Amino acid sequence: MALIVYGTTLSPFVRKVCVVMAEKGLKYQIENVTPLNAPVDFPQVSPLKKIPAFRDTSLPEPNTLADSSVICDYLESKYPEPALYPKDPYLRARALWFEEYADSAVGMCVTRGLFFERVVKKLFGQVTDEEVCRKTLEEQLPPLWDYLEREIGDRNYLVDDKFSIADISVATMLVNYDHAGEDVNPARWPRLCNYADRLLQRPTFKLLIEEEAPLVKQALAA
């Protein structure tokens, strides 16, 4: 298999890369690595020891990359169809902005503030810190959702009303939000709620969500 992803799709960043590959019709192999069970030589593939990391075995060494945004950019350059980044320079930059917004601010809240507390900790027999979750849900996430609600407006997709890396990056965070047992409140954020419902039904997301569900269910029941 030429394309290898190191990680687990429970990570929104790993899922982002897998969805990009699936949208492009690429076959890939997952090497199951989590930051907690990474082999000692993992830093050779991922110098910051984060997932995802990636290898294209069709290339001579060094043939690895780290960081979801870097990997997705590589995949777009190497496999340009279907395009997941706008061609127009401004629209492309705007898509990258939403990718950054999702990866950083939303990611911090959804992964650290909710998914880690409610799912990862439970998988490791640890106790959820309810105060961290409360603060995330009541104080930190609402302004982030407000912004996305405004930006979606009457469109189906965030940039130029075409499906792009912007939507993949936001939607992968919405999957972890859902895995952490939360729904976007339709009364307060009707557009974001509708957007989440639509994107998570997309076959490339749906397939991964279904694969991830049993482990998440096990954690939530613990």
List the interface residues with ligand GSH, window 111-170 (CB under 6 A). 111
Candidates 9, 19, 33, 52; binder of ligand GSH (CB under 6 A) is 52
Alpha-carbon 12 to chain mean position:
3
Candidates 9, 11, 64, 172; binder of ligand GSH (CB under 6 A) is 11
How far is it, in rounded angstroms, from Cα 53 to Cα 62?
A: 13
Peptide bond into 82 cis (omega under 30): yes
How far is it, in rounded angstroms, from Cα 150 to Cα 148?
A: 5
Binding segment for ligand GSH (CB under 6 A), chosen from 49-57, 120-128, 136-144, 167-175, is 49-57
Query: 200: which 2 tokens?
Result: 């998570």
Q: CB of residue 166 vs ligand GSH: minimum separation in angstroms?
A: 14
Under rule CB under 6 A, how many of the chain's residues touch ligand GSH?
12
Q: CB of residue 93 vs ligand GSH: minimum separation in angstroms?
A: 18
How far is it, in rounded angstroms, from Cα 137 to Cα 139?
A: 6
CB atoms within 10 A of CB 36: 8
**Residue 177 sits in the site that holds ligand GSH (CB under 6 A):** no
Residue ranges binding ligand GSH (CB under 6 A): 11, 13, 35, 49-52, 67-69, 103, 111
